[in-house]
């Protein structure tokens, strides 16, 4: 497993990422048309059935003001809701906080988007279009690639930063450290997602 | 890394302790406290229990609407059990798909006989029996692996069975908006074909690779 091979490079990368997480440096510039918001690491695991699917992404905020992810729409779903994981259950929430100089991480086992009333069953290799709307910032359009049902960003890529993210995920807590180790997002959501694909 | 193992073990132990602290009046539910071995290799997904769980005495309904006696049907067979529900977009399908993909990869294993490979039983017990009818379960599992046994029945029976494995689940609740919130189990439990005891736990973070690596040992009832 890649976990074993955590190298000095991984440590350095992790340290750099944590810094980014703390907002000490810019995290890749602002993307979309939102004020300081950028979206990356978007993916949807291929769903089991045509009834529902989950979606994950990271919204980075390098601006000085907090914002909220308020609503989401998609071309594949009649309804997209925002969910948070509380213990062993998942609850729908009205919105999720995107802290100033921070990020909102939607990841497996934690906060996620739930796609319901699917118009078609998304298949691995497809791309799903989303529009994210915020309390303050302008909406951002995201092209979300559909990955395999067992895709996990931390194991599917071999990059140093990712393996550090995996070792922290092993503790099975959704801690700030885990969020900080998430790869920095790029201004182009689709590009960021694609770069993840190429390692797969 | 070693610290991580302890952390996971502590989590399981904590979950089990919480259970025994608030077990809702079911005095009969014997010791659900998991005693875990801390020698489980530093970076392994598997947690090997020092004191295996007894296989729960669950008699439920399978996806064909037929009675399924878990102990009888899986006696002497390596068995993985997970508690979840089909209206679950994230953790439940991921867990089941991880196991299903690992199982598919067994086909390439040259050290196991076909009979050994065929002996593996994967059992998915719903935590949301009201919505997960045999038909609904069957449809969902077909999208994962139709060999998986899907079980439904009375929630109380399922809850009591889960409890003996240190898994705490509460009945689904319906919110004001009519949306149902259900709970899934926190771990997959592997039962030995030799003893029928539940001797290995996997948390939600276990990956396809973890299961692929461990299944050959589990099929033989060995420690992964």
- The domain that holds B22 is classified in CATH as 3.40.30.10
Model pLDDT, residue B192 = 98
B87 touches chain A (CB under 8 A): yes
Residue A66 confidence (pLDDT) above 90: yes
Helix (H, G, I), strand (E, B) or coil at B62: coil
Residue B36 confidence (pLDDT) above 70: no
Pick the residue from chain B with its C-alpha nearest to A155.
Answer: B207
Query: Per the CB < 8 Å rule, is B90 touching A108?
Result: yes
Here the tokens at position A71 are 């609503």
Model pLDDT, residue B29 = 41
Of B98, B182, B185, which has the smallest distance from its Cβ to A150's Cβ? B98
B105 touches chain A (CB under 8 A): no
Model pLDDT, residue B179 = 81
Lowest-pLDDT choice from A52-56, B16-20, B74-78, B157-161: B16-20
Helix (H, G, I), strand (E, B) or coil at A55: strand
B145 touches chain A (CB under 8 A): no
Complex ipTM, two decimals?
0.74
Contact B99, B188 (CB under 8 A): yes
Contact B189, B198 (CB under 8 A): yes
B21 touches chain A (CB under 8 A): no
Mark out chain A residues that contact chain B at CB-CB < 8 A: 1, 3-4, 45, 47-49, 51-54, 83, 85, 87-92, 108-109, 112, 114-115, 149-150, 152, 155, 167, 169-173
Q: Residue B43: which pLDDT band, with cuts at 50, 70 and 90?
A: low
pLDDT by residue (tens digit) across B171-217? 998 888 778 888 888 899 999 999 999 999 999 889 999 999 999 99
Higher pLDDT, B185 or B20: B185
Other CB atoms within a 10 A radius of the CB of residue B190 amount to 28
Mean pLDDT of B112-130: 97
The mean predicted confidence, pLDDT, of chain A is 71
Higher pLDDT, A162 or B30: B30
Higher pLDDT, B189 or A18: B189
Beta strands, E only, chain B: 46-53, 59-61, 67-69, 79-84, 121-126, 149-151, 173-174, 180-181, 188-191, 198-202
DSSP of B15-47, one letter per residue?
HHHHHHHH--S-TT----PPPB-TTSTTT-SEE
Higher pLDDT, A8 or B164: B164
Measure the CA angle with vertex A59, ends A171 and A196; round to 5°: 70
Q: Which residues of B touch A51 (CB under 8 A)?
A: 87
For residue B153, CA distances in Å to B23, B75, B163, B178 come to: 20, 21, 16, 22
Model pLDDT, residue B210 = 96
Q: Residue B31: which pLDDT band, with cuts at 50, 70 and 90?
A: very low
Q: What residue spans define the domains of chain A?
A: 2-188
Interface residue of A76, A172, A177 to substitute, partner B, most B CBs within 10 Å? A172
Helix (H, G, I), strand (E, B) or coil at A78: strand
Model pLDDT, residue A90 = 81
Residue B32 confidence (pLDDT) above 60: no
pLDDT by residue (tens digit) across B45-75? 899 999 999 999 999 999 999 999 999 999 9
pLDDT by residue (tens digit) across A123-181? 999 999 999 999 999 999 999 999 999 998 863 333 333 333 333 333 333 333 333 33
Q: Which residues of A touch B43 (CB under 8 A)?
A: 1, 3-4, 170
Here the tokens at position B106 are 């067994």
Query: Per the CB < 8 Å rule, is A167 touching B4?
Result: yes
Q: CB under 8 Å to B153, separation ≥6 — which residues?
A: B58, B59, B60, B61, B129
The mean predicted confidence, pLDDT, of chain B is 85
Query: Could you say which DSSP state residue A119 is in?
Result: S
What's the half-sphere exposure (Cβ side, CA atoms, 13 Å) at B95? Answer: 29
Here the tokens at position B168 are 């705490």
Query: Could you say which DSSP state residue A35 is in?
Result: S
Q: Which domain holds residue B55?
A: 2-220
Model pLDDT, residue A89 = 80
Q: Considering all CA atoms of chain A, what is the largest pairwise distance in Å, rounded to the nearest integer?
A: 47
- Which of B:46-85 have CB within 8 Å of A? none
Helical axes A8-22 vs A160-169, angle rounded to 10°? 80
Contact A185, A40 (CB under 8 A): yes
Residue B28 confidence (pLDDT) above 70: no
Of B143, B175, B209, which has the smallest distance from its Cβ to A48's Cβ? B143
Model pLDDT, residue B105 = 94
Residue B95 burial (10 A CB sphere; 0-12, 13-18, 19+)? buried
Contact B132, B154 (CB under 8 A): no
Interface residue of B89, B92, B126, B144 to substitute, partner A, most A CBs within 10 Å? B89
Count how many domains chain B has: 1
Model pLDDT, residue A85 = 83
- Which of B157, B146, B100, B151 minimizes the C-alpha distance to B125? B151
Beta bridge partners of A72: A80, A132
The CATH code that applies to domain A2-188 is: 2.60.40.1890
């Amino acid at each position: 497993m890649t976990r074993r091979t955590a190298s000095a490079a991984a440590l350095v990368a992790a340290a750099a990422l944590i810094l980014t997480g703390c907002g000490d440096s810019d995290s890749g510039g602002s993307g979309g048309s939102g004020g300081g918001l950028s979206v990356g690491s978007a993916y949807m695991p291929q769903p089991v059935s045509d009834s529902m699917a989950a979606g994950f992404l990271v919204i980075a905020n390098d601006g000085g003001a907090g914002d909220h992810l308020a609503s989401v729409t998609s071309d594949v779903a009649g309804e997209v809701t925002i969910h948070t994981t509380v213990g062993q259950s998942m609850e729908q929430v009205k919105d999720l906080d995107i802290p100033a100089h921070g990020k909102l991480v939607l990841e497996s086992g934690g906060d996620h988007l739930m796609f319901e009333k699917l118009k078609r069953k998304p298949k691995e290799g497809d791309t799903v279009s989303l529009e994210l709307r915020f309390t303050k910032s302008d909406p951002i359009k995201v092209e979300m690639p559909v990955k395999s049902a067992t895709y996990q960003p931390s194991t599917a890529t071999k990059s140093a930063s990712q393996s550090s993210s995996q070792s922290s995920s092993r503790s099975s807590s959704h801690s700030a450290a885990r969020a900080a180790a998430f790869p920095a997002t790029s201004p182009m959501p689709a590009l960021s997602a694609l770069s993840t694909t190429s390692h797969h | 890394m070693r610290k991580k193992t302890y952390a996971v073990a502590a989590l399981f132990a904590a979950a089990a302790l919480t259970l025994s602290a608030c077990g809702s009046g079911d005095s009969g539910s014997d010791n659900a406290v998991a005693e875990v071995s801390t020698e489980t290799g530093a970076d392994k997904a598997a947690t090997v229990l020092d004191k295996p769980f007894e296989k729960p005495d669950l008699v439920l309904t399978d996806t064909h609407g037929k009675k399924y006696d878990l102990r009888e049907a899986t006696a002497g067979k390596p068995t993985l059990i997970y508690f979840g529900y089909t209206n679950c977009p994230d953790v439940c399908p991921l867990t089941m798909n991880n196991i299903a993909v690992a199982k598919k990869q067994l086909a390439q294993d040259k050290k196991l006989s076909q009979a050994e490979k065929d002996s593996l039983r994967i059992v998915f017990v719903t935590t949301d029996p009201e919505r997960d009818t045999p038909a609904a379960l069957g449809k969902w599992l077909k999208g994962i692996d139709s060999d998986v046994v899907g079980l439904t029945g009375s929630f109380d029976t399922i809850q009591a069975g889960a409890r003996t494995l240190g898994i705490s689940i509460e009945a689904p609740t319906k919110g004001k908006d009519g949306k149902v919130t259900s709970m899934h189990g926190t771990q997959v439990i592997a039962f030995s074909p030799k003893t029928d005891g539940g001797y290995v736990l996997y948390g939600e973070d276990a990956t396809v690779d973890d299961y692929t690596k461990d299944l050959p040992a589990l099929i033989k009832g060995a420690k992964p």
